[in-house]
Amino acid sequence: MSNNKYKILIVEDDGSIRTFVTALLESNGFQVVTASTASAGLLSFCSHRPDLVVLDLGLPDMDGMRIIRTIREESPVPIIVLSARITEQDKVEALDQGANDYVTKPFGPAELLARIRAALRSIIWNSSGDTSKSLVLKDLEIRFDQRQVLVGGQEVRLTQTEYNIVVLLAQHAGKVLTYAAIIREIWGVSDPGSIKTLQVNMANIRKKLGARPGAENYIANELGVGYRMTDG
């Protein structure tokens, strides 16, 4: 992926973190715009139209959750939350408000870059608007027109529900989908047993895709939050 055409907006009030992330992204070929407050961030978003937003939640003039809602009202641009808030409730709320991913501080630069690249890949896929094409993530291939999933060129036999889950995650590759969001899309209802049903299906999917214990593989489990399709 060539990075030089992608513009990233960083909204972060901590000067040292803002400077570090700016240097990290620029050294990897991204264009960067920065803001230290929510109001400045929203102005920069409207004027610069970035391809992705890296957003802190604890801003001095407005809570980051409100920024997520404001951006989502007018744009599907990927939003990656970068926050010191580590509770499951904060992560779920940010994702349900419309954030694509959630990275906690302190963070590793390699992880942040990987999350950004994954979110930008979702732009390429979703902008095609053609679900008849295949989606390839390393040796995992999903052939939407033939309703097939292959690993290393070999077809993986999935149930209809398992296939639907894989397709849903693939269509949002790089984004964490909460348990509630997946259950709502796949079954349309939510009850006390829904999460257990999802977990059983997900365990079967990961086993069939050749997942190894402790490895992310194609589907990462964000514990207590949801699942995310990775690039292997």
Name the token pair of 18: 């803002």
Name the token pair of 110: 């390699």
pLDDT digits (tens, 9 = 90+) for 97-141: 888 889 989 889 988 998 888 778 766 545 544 444 677 877 888
CA pseudo-torsion sign 143, 147, 152, 155: negative
Would strands 7-11 and 31-35 be described as parallel, antiparallel, or unpaired? parallel
Residue pLDDT tens, the chain, 232 long: 445 578 999 999 999 999 999 999 999 999 999 999 999 999 999 999 999 999 999 999 999 999 999 998 888 888 999 999 888 888 888 988 888 889 989 889 988 998 888 778 766 545 544 444 677 877 888 887 677 899 888 999 888 788 889 988 988 888 889 998 888 888 766 665 678 889 888 999 988 988 655 555 788 888 888 999 885 4
How many C-alpha atoms does 173 have within 13 Å on its Cβ side?
Answer: 24
3-state class (DSSP) for residue 64: helix
Widest CA span of the chain, in angstroms?
53
CB 83 within 8 A of CB 38: no
Return phi, psi of residue 218, to 5°: -90, -30
Compute the residue count for the chain: 232
Can you give the pLDDT at residue 17?
95
CB 224 within 8 A of CB 218: no
Residue with the two structure tokens 């709320």: 93
Domains of the chain: 7-124 (3.40.50.2300), 130-229 (1.10.10.10)
d(CA 67, CA 63): 7
List of E strands, 46-187 = 52-55, 79-83, 101-104, 134-137, 140-143, 148-151, 154-155, 176-178
pLDDT digits (tens, 9 = 90+) for 216-229: 578 888 888 899 98
Can you give the pLDDT at residue 67?
95
Which element (helix H / strand E) includes 170?
Answer: helix 160-171
10 Å Cβ neighbour count for 115? Answer: 25
Can you give the pLDDT at residue 15?
95
Can you give the pLDDT at residue 80?
94
Name the token pair of 90: 């904060």
Q: Peptide bond preceding 106: is omega within 30 degrees of 0, i.e. cis?
A: yes
Can you give the pLDDT at residue 216?
54
